[in-house]
Every structure is written in C-alpha cells, then in structure tokens.
Structure 1
Amino acid sequence: MPTMSSSDLYVLENALDWLQEGVRVALVTVAETWGSAPRPVGSLLAVAEDGRFAGSVSGGCIEEHLVERIDREFPEKPYAASYGVSADEARRFGLPCGGTMVVVVEPIRDAETIARSVAEIRQRRRVCRTLEMGSGVARLAAASADDGFDYDGKLLRNVHGPRWRIVIVGAGHLARYLARMALMLDFVVHVTDPRLEYRAQWDVPEARLLEGMPDDALLALGIDPCTAIITTAHDPKVDDMALLEGLKSDAFYIGALGSPRTSAKRRIRLGLFDLTPEQIDRLHAPAGIPIGSHTPAEIALSMLAEVVAVRSELIAVAKSPSRISAAVGCVG
C-alpha cells in the first residue's frame, strides 16, 4: 500500500518540482471567506505558468479562471482577488449559497522556503510561512502552539503541517489503514502495541511506534486536548490499559473497536476500575459512524469520519465568542 501525502505537502511538493524544472509557479491561498465558501482559509493551490496545477481553493469552482489568468499574465507581485461578491459572480464561479472568498495569488520568488516547508512537513513538523504582500518576501519559522492562519491585507501567515494527533492502540491490519488515512488528514500518528509479533511487522514508518505498555506509552507521550485515541487490538489486555489512561486524560476523542456486545462488556470492565461514569461515557464504542462498513479500509474510514466530526464540533465551539474550550490552542 503506497504512502499518501497530506494536502499541504502534495501542493508544495508539486510546486517545488516545477520550480526545480525552471518553471515559474504561483501559490494561491484562500485568505478570507464569507457564507458557504467551499474551502477554508489556508487552503492552497499551486499553478505553474504552463497550466499545470495542484490543490484546490474552491472545490473546482474558480480554479479554471485562476489558471487561465496566471497563464495569460504571470503576476510580478502578490495580489488579492475576490470571487462571488456579486450575485453574477456567484453564478459565474459556482460558489454555493452566496458564498464569497478572497484569495491571495503569490508568485514564488525562490524555491528555498518551499523546499524547507516540504522538508519540515515530511518530518511531521509544523512551520509558519509569512508573506509580505508589499514586497513579496516570504519567511519561514517553526510554528508555535499559538500560531494559526492570519491575513490583514499586509501580511499573510499560514501554518503548514500537522497539529492534531492520533494514537492508535494495536498495530494490526486495520491500524495500517487508520494510520495512512490519518496521515493524509494531517494528523501526527503514533502507534502503541506491546505484542512483539505485531511490532515486528509494522510498515508505516511515518507513524511512530511508541515504546512500553499502552498505558505507560500514553503517559510518556502526554495526552492533550488535540489528541485522539483509538483502540484496535481486539485484546482487552492491550486495549483496556490504554482506555484506563485515555478516559482520564484531556483527549478530545477516545474510541474503541468492537461490536455493541463487546462494547457493553468493555464498559462493565471499565466500571470496575477508578473511572467515573462520566469518564466512561466519553468512550465512543463501537467507534465510527454507521456507513455499513465491513472491510478494514471501510472501518478505518468510518472511525476517522467520527474523529473528524468530533474535532469539527470542537473547533466550532472554540471559535465561538460565547464559548471557551480547552482545545482553543489546537485551532489553526
């Protein structure tokens, strides 16, 4: 099974390849949105002067116009362009429900910051790239926990690379699909499994195997509000150890593989330990949303869909001016 790249990495890798061919490249970033815009701020599109492009800023609505515009007249300096401001534009560019957006089109002056960004993301590290709109100069720095997307018309600041984490308990067949899909979604992925036969056959190097028993591994890693935990081992001696620590932690999601009957038995077992009913109620079991999944890939998709849904709700709460969330530090 091939390794999959995250969306940011895919766009930036293509941009770097084209730059190294000697082709001029413009980087397009969603800077502002109103209404039902198809893509969030920070989304990227790389456009080569010969018409090749990678990524998406609108789900296909305005990419063709941007590619044609850049092909017709390659920009000399960064500029902002708005789409969907009028009803005619909304109809022309296919923006849904009156959604509008502003994109920043940036001619990449040199490949250095792109190459460094690619190298850092490949190492699962987060970087903050800042563009000065007036000069067109881009600078790169390690991203702090508080860094996120920002645009004020003069500076555009975008964070690339993973911010959220998933810890997978169990290194079996299902875990391989979970790990690869989670990496595509820009999660940092860790795997814990004390069973030597499973550790020996783990073949997703981007998802690091943690040392020690699952409970010790979680304690050593440190579980914060940006962490999800999914148990897949099908062995209570492995899964329950992780759940006993995970349910007492700040993890935003804790899920366990198993049938409704298995999950009911698990809840009874967990109730015999020092967990409160409220802590046990945090457990998503059976983990995943109902999509009629049967194969390991489908089950992994179901699980990650639930993780993303819970994360999206958490982000919405954290960004609400009337609510305060412990996960506000995770929101980019």
Structure 2
Amino acid sequence: MDSLDKEVLGRARQWLHEGHRVLLATVVRTWGSSPRPPGALVALRDDGHAVGSVSGGCIEDDLIRRLADEGMPAHARTVSYGVSAEEARRFGLPCGGTMELVLEPLGMADALDALIERIDAGALVARTLDLASGRAELAPAHPEQGTSFDGRRLVSVFGPRYRLLIIGAGQLSAVLARMALALDFAVTVCDPRAEWADEWEVAGTTLSRLMPDDLVIAMRPDARMAVVALTHDPKLDDLALMEALRSPAFYVAALGSRRNNAQRRERLREFDVSEDQVAALRGPAGLYIGSRTPAEIAVSIAAELVAVKNGVTPERVLPVGEAKAALEVAADALSACRK
C-alpha cells in the first residue's frame, strides 16, 4: 500500500465521524499506460472536497462533477475512463491508457476504524468488498498479495509490504527513517548505545537496543527486507552486515567512503562471509547525486533502495562508488589534456 493511501483512509474516517458522506474510489484495473497503479485511492466528501490521487487530476475532477450532478451512489459500482482516444485525451491519460475504478459509498462512521487500527499496528490487511451487498471484511494478507477484482469482489491490501532495518539512531538515520515510512516501509532502528537510542524520536518506527547481529537474526530477513548500516562503528555495522549478507535480504548497504568499505569487505571475509555475499554489499550506500548533507545522503540511499526494490537494473543507475571513480578518471584525463 502507498503510504499516501493510508492518509486517504484517515481523512475519509475523519469526514465520516464529522457526519459527512464519503465516496471511496479505488483503481482496480489498468490497460496500457496509466498514471496510478491498481490499489490507488481517492476519497471524495459529499461537498466535493477530495484527498488522494487516481490520476493527474482530470479523473478526480470528473468524479467530483459526477458527485455534484448525480449525488452519492446508493451502491458500489464500477466506472471506466480512457476507453477511447478522445476520452484518454480529455482525462489526461497517456496514449492507449484505460483505467477502471470501483466507487464505494462509505456508510457507518466506524467503517474504517478497524482497518486503520490494524494498519497502525503494522499488520498487512486484506479488505474484501462485495459490490452487491456493500459489505467489507478484513483478513490477514500476504506480502505477495495485491489488489484484485473479479467483477464482483474487490480485494485491497493495506499495510507495509517491505521492512527496513537501520543500524544507528543518529541524524541521518532519522531522516532516512522518515523517508522510508513515506515509502511504506515498516522501519526498525537498532542502536545499543544509550546516548543515541535515548534521543530517538521518530514516530512510527520501532526502536531496538539489542546488539545488531542479534536483532538481524531475530527479524529473520526475507526477500522483502533491507538492512542499512549507518553508525560508522565497525563493532556495530559489521555485526549486522555479516548476518544480513547471509540472508535473503534484497538490499544490504553501509555508509562510508570507498576506502572504508574496502576495509569493511576485508573484515567480512575474515568472518567467513563468502565472496558472493561480500559482492552483494552496497557500499558506499546510495546513488551518486553529489550529496553532502544528511538529507541529501538519505535521498541518495532511499533512491537506491527503491531502485533495487523495483528491479531497476544496475546499468540504469550509478552507485556512489562507481560515480566517484568515474569522476576521478575524468578529472585525471582533463588534467593530462591541459599539460
């Protein structure tokens, strides 16, 4: 689930408790190119206020117009956009793009209470809506499960599908944690040092004071978990990396210079981490964007994290180490030309 969609659910619940009627629109199918994927949400209040996004804005505007002209629908139903080239242009859809949505009038004020409570608890939840009856049921979901629609029942999955473990509770970790939360990661921060852990105040994250290797083992990393070491302390970072690299974690990275990461790789080999596992370490962590401040470094790491999660091939991104090496080669070549 997109974390912005959680904001949509929260606002819809607020409107319901304030006595408004609310229409929830969910993207259920797309053909060709489309602005938002299945599962994207927009909530519309009975007076036309809206939160969320299912397109660049044109479809939202049309939904608001429909609501004003036709009123709140009595039952859940589907609506399609972009079925013709003219309509695709009208609603700002890319060429050939078609989108189908389910429009669901939300009834009781507590209709979303149980769902949001489970999401806030970190659970992954499947909400099944029966269009004929308007009934919605909640059940545990699997990370691989996504939005599905068979014409009669809509299954939407809410909650974090990916986990991020950050080693170190410093300023950079705080900025990265907030970005990861916005990207819908369940974020755990590990720091056994009281002077750092006692100051951790990022809401929505889990703080652990265990030793990093013990926590990595306890969390049982899978193919939807990432581990980033940010303390600059080999006694903490290396312990976490050693266990993470032996796991199926999809992204394992460490902060530091190229020289420090080269030394780190040598230390990991001494702990019997295999060559293939050492090669999987991303260090220096992040994509090259010339970052210097904690916020810029966090953007760099978050960008690489998302790229790997989304299966972007290494040839299409430029890791920090390779970029800096390329810049040095270019600088040497320029210097030689000037002589």
TM over 0.5: yes
- 2:14 corresponds in structure 1 to 17
Question: In the TM superposition, what is the alpha-carbon distance from 1:180 to its structure 2 partner?
Answer: 1.2
Residues 23-42 of structure 1 aligned to structure 2 (within 5 Å): 23-42=20-39
The match for 1:212 is: 210
Give the structure 2 partner of residue 131 of structure 1: 129
Displacement of 1:151: 0.4
Name 1:198's counterpart in structure 2. Answer: 196
Counterpart-to-counterpart distance in 2, 1:311 and 1:70: 38
Of 62, 65, 70, which aligns to 1:68? 65
Output the amino acid matched with 1:292: G
Worse-superposed segment, 201-210 or 24-33: 201-210
Q: Which moved more, 1:247-256 or 1:270-279?
A: 270-279
1:142-196 CA distance string (max 9 Å, x none): 3345643210110000011111100001110011011111111111111111211
Please say if residues 122 and 160 of structure 2, whose CA atoms lie closer than 8 Å, have aligned partners that are also in contact. Answer: yes
- For residue 191 of structure 1, give the secondary structure of its aligned residue in structure 2: strand
In the alignment, what sits opposite 1:236? Answer: 234
| CA distance 1:146–1:266, shift in 2 (3 Å) | closer
Q: Work out which of the two has the higher radius of gyration on C-alpha atoms and give 1 or 2.
A: 2
Shift in Å, 1:297: 1.4
- Report how far residue 208 of structure 1 moved: 1.0
Cα offsets for 1:180-231 (capped at 9, x unmatched)? 1111111111111121111111112421112421001111121111100011
Measure the CA separation in 2 of the matches of 1:293 and 1:68. Answer: 45
CA distances 1:219-273 after superposition (whole Å, capped 9, x unpaired): 1121111100011111111111111001000101111111222222222222222
Letter in 1 for 2:47: D
The 3 A distance-change label for structure 1 pair 277 and 97 is farther
Q: 1:121 aligns with which of 119, 126, 141?
A: 119
SS at match of 2:195: helix
Give the structure 1 partner of residue 105 of structure 2. Answer: 107
Measure, in 2, the Cα distance between the counterparts of 1:79 and 1:258: 53
Cα deviation for residue 98 of structure 1 reads 1.9
Structure 2 gaps of 5+ residues are 313-339
SS of 1:98's partner is: coil
- Which contiguous aligned blocks of 4+ residues in structure 1 show a shift greater than 3 angstroms? 144-147
Query: What is the correspondence of 1:243-258 to structure 2 with a 5 Å cutoff?
Result: 243-258=241-256
Residue 293 of structure 1 aligns to a residue whose secondary structure is: coil
Counterpart pick for 2:49 among 49, 52, 76: 52
Instruction: Determine which of 151, 154, 157 is the counterpart of 1:153.
Output: 151
Aligned residues: 310
SS at match of 1:284: coil
Do 1:128 and 1:159's aligned partners in 2 also have CA atoms closer than 8 Å? yes
User: What percent identity do the matched residue pairs reach?
Assistant: 51
Q: Which residue of 1 aligns with 2:294?
A: 296
The match for 1:141 is: 139
- Aligned counterpart, 1:180: 178
Contact (CA 8 Å) 1:113, 1:140: kept in 2 or not? Answer: no
Once the two structures are superposed, what CA deviation does each residue of 1:29-80 show, in whole Å capped at 9, x if it has no partner?
0000111111111011100011111111113241111121122222111111
TM-score by length of 2: 0.88
CA contact (8 A) 1:7 1:184 kept: yes
Work out the CA distance in 2 between the residues paired with 1:298 and 1:70.
43
Unaligned runs of 5+ in 1: 315-332
* Cα distance change of structure 1 residues 60 and 294 upon mapping to structure 2, 3 Å threshold: farther
